[in-house]
Structure 1
Amino acid sequence: MTSSWRALRRRLLTPNVAETTLDKRGFHKKSPAAQERLENVGKAFITGYAHAVEARTSADAMARIEELPDWLHGFACEGAAMGLAVLDGLPFGRSDNVRRFLATPGGAAYQHLAYVGIGWAMARLPRFRWPKPSSLDPVLAPLVLDGYGFHQAYFHTARYVDGKYQDQNFPWPGGRHGSYANNAIDQGIGRASWFVRGTDPVLVADLLDTFPERRRPDLWAGVGLAATYAGGGDDRSVAERELRTLRARAGDYRGNLAQGSAFAANARVRAGVVPAHSALATQVLCGSTPQEAARLTDELRPGYQPDGDKPAYEVWRQRLADAFVSLGGVNT
């Protein structure tokens, strides 16, 4: 494929970065610093997407992503995975673009974010072009649904956030644990809520209080992940105060909040990039360092599908939430 054709493909397929601004989305603006942070995240996502659909190889795309500030690499990889999953879903061309990206050292380091990016692509592809669940890590596959949920809450906020929409018969992945899909989607909606409410902990908590109680554990887990991975954009003293407010407002869901935070810490440590805002959030929400939270996350991950009616991913999440409650760090 010629470079001119790849450049055309980039122009045709890449979303407009203006779609990620808070003004365009109608999201709350807490402060100029928070707005800048969230919009930088959106730009990095689109940048990663654009590099991936234009690059000759996955390694080339990763090399371009590494030109960004290191704390944004994960968001760019998420966008890259979306772009590559869109290419995989097109009727012509390669169908193994995501797999090849994950086989690169950089792609492997951001595997969790890449799975989320696949979910973004699913939201824009016809269902018959969705990836086969059997092609994914069986423990991590629900992260794809997390990405789908984030996309829907981010771009269809009135329906999924304000209207509390939930598809009771979501068709993917199906099978024995198919009914779990909405739990994973709600984790993505919780993550998006951090963006929708502009990282304001009071507004985020007020929003989650409007959802049915059965959905709140998953939503709070998503908030914990976003607050830790993306951060709030303000200086340390403000950020610490806001994180403590968030933890207090989580109430009975503090374990879920800590679980999401630990997942974010694990992703940061896995990639070797732990910015100060992620370390602070892990300390406040988990009562531990990112390295300790990441280690516990790895230790509690099931190595296989346990017996019972819950997928391994949910068993993993519950083990982690219970562990942080037992350790007491989330209750101080």
Structure 2
Amino acid sequence: MSTRILPPLPTGLVDFGNRGFRTSNPVARALLERRAAAFLLGYNTLRRNGIEELANRLDGCPLDDLGFAYEGAAFAAAAHDLLRPGRGSPLLDAMFALAGDRYPHLMHVGAGWVGLVARPSLVLRKARLDPLLRWLTLDGAGFSRAFLRGKRWNARFTRAAWSAEPAHTVLHQGVGRAMWFMECADPAAIRRRIAEFPPQAHAELWSGVGLAVCYAGGADEALDDLPRSPAEPVASPGSGLRGGARRAGHVPAHTATGVRELAGVSVTEAVEWTVVAAHEVSAGDLDIAAYRQWQHLIRDRAARHV
């Protein structure tokens, strides 16, 4: 089945003005829109040219944006495979064979974007994902819904009753990550938005914010205004860095700065936290409870360094 069965995604889809996002910081807006545009580039390139030409077509993409392009391509692959009959997820599997070693976090998140139109569990059942990182598809579902479904969906989600069910907490992390874009890297505006949620959700939302800071950038002076308390674990971005930061062969300057300023360590040390924590939870079935335990082990380590 051709990838052209997928609809093209227009560039206006990620324009902050069109989406009703905050636009008060033109520098942060330009950078974050560029990250989102790279996502669309990856999606549309896979749709138009197929996986055979993907790497060559993305060759000119700036290195700081390339991971986001592969995130978008992973979304396209996951959406394509959900539309095809039968078992398995051959295009998404091929995508991970191509670039999953370099961008494991972003590509798992990208696959979770199918949560816009379907249950993320469908991807979990069809694709051969990393046993631990597969739960990031829920993060991707949360991000995509907050980013694209508009003010009405976000208002309903904000008012929804809190559930400590693990899938619900990871979904909130994706929503928190989206807030970094929606509020155009404004910590005060993000704090106000998070305050509207039940208190139990705040830690998960701040965790998502911290990950967005380190992956997308746009913080600059705003780093000093981000919280550092254990109740607002913006300082634990390591769970998004597992392996990929070293294997991609390129660590963006904003990632190194964000990790150092928020967690007090280098990217290399933050990645090591994730590896050690993964060994502690890898004895049994890596269900979502194990994923949450892994995250908490990383947060505990980060809290001791802030």
State whether TM-score is above 0.5: yes
Cα 1:59/1:109, change in 2 over 3 Å: farther
Q: How much identity, in percent, do the aligned residues show?
A: 31
Q: 1:199 aligns with which of 185, 191, 201?
A: 185
CA deviation after TM superposition for structure 1 residue 265, in Å: 4.3
- Secondary structure at the aligned position of 1:301 is classed as helix
CA deviation after TM superposition for structure 1 residue 207, in Å: 1.3
Q: 1:262 aligns with which of 221, 238, 248?
A: 238
Distance across 2 between alignment mates of 1:90 and 1:201: 39
Distance across 2 between alignment mates of 1:44 and 1:61: 13
Flag structure 1 segments of 5+ consecutive residues without an equivalent: 170-177, 234-238
Matched to 1:188, the amino acid is G
Report the counterpart of residue 69 of structure 2 in structure 1: 76
Matched to 2:97, the amino acid is A
Corresponding position: 1:253 with 2:231: yes
CA deviation after TM superposition for structure 1 residue 112, in Å: 1.6
RMSD over aligned Cα, in angstroms?
2.8
- Secondary structure at the aligned position of 1:66 is classed as coil
Query: Once the two structures are superposed, what CA deviation does each residue of 1:231-262 show, in whole Å capped at 9, x if it has no partner?
Result: 116xxxxx1x31121135xx3434x2122x22
Query: Once the two structures are superposed, what CA deviation does each residue of 1:300-324 show, in whole Å capped at 9, x if it has no partner?
Result: 1145265999611111110011111
- Secondary structure at the aligned position of 1:118 is classed as helix
Report the counterpart of residue 33 of structure 1 in structure 2: 27
CA deviation after TM superposition for structure 1 residue 279, in Å: 1.2
Distance across 1 between alignment mates of 2:174 and 2:111: 13
Alignment check: 8 A CA contact 2:215 2:255 kept: yes
Q: 2:197 aligns with which of 208, 211, 215?
A: 211
CA deviation after TM superposition for structure 1 residue 168, in Å: 7.9
- Secondary structure at the aligned position of 1:194 is classed as helix
Matched to 1:312, the amino acid is A
Report the counterpart of residue 189 of structure 1 in structure 2: 175
Query: Once the two structures are superposed, what CA deviation does each residue of 1:99-137 show, in whole Å capped at 9, x if it has no partner?
Result: 011112x23211221111111023224789544077432
Corresponding position: 1:288 with 2:265: yes
Alignment check: 8 A CA contact 1:262 1:293 kept: yes
CA deviation after TM superposition for structure 1 residue 264, in Å: 4.0
Alignment check: 8 A CA contact 1:226 1:264 kept: no
Cα 1:319/1:51, change in 2 over 3 Å: same
Deviates more, 1:294-303 or 1:206-215: 294-303
Deviates more, 1:283-292 or 1:269-278: 269-278
- Secondary structure at the aligned position of 2:184 is classed as coil
Report the counterpart of residue 173 of structure 1 in structure 2: none
Matched to 1:151, the amino acid is S
Flag structure 2 segments of 5+ consecutive residues without an equivalent: none
Alignment check: 8 A CA contact 1:167 1:182 kept: no
Report the counterpart of residue 224 of structure 2 in structure 1: 244
Matched to 1:279, the amino acid is A
Matched to 1:52, the amino acid is L
TM-score, structure 1 normalization: 0.82
Distance across 1 between alignment mates of 2:121 and 2:265: 43
Report the counterpart of residue 123 of structure 1 in structure 2: 116
Alignment check: 8 A CA contact 1:86 1:125 kept: no
CA deviation after TM superposition for structure 1 residue 230, in Å: 0.4
Query: Once the two structures are superposed, what CA deviation does each residue of 1:248-287 show, in whole Å capped at 9, x if it has no partner?
Result: 5xx3434x2122x223444433322211111111111100
Distance across 2 between alignment mates of 1:167 and 1:134: 31
- Secondary structure at the aligned position of 2:191 is classed as helix
Provide the aligned length of Structure 1 versus Structure 2. 302
Q: 2:289 aligns with which of 311, 315, 319?
A: 311
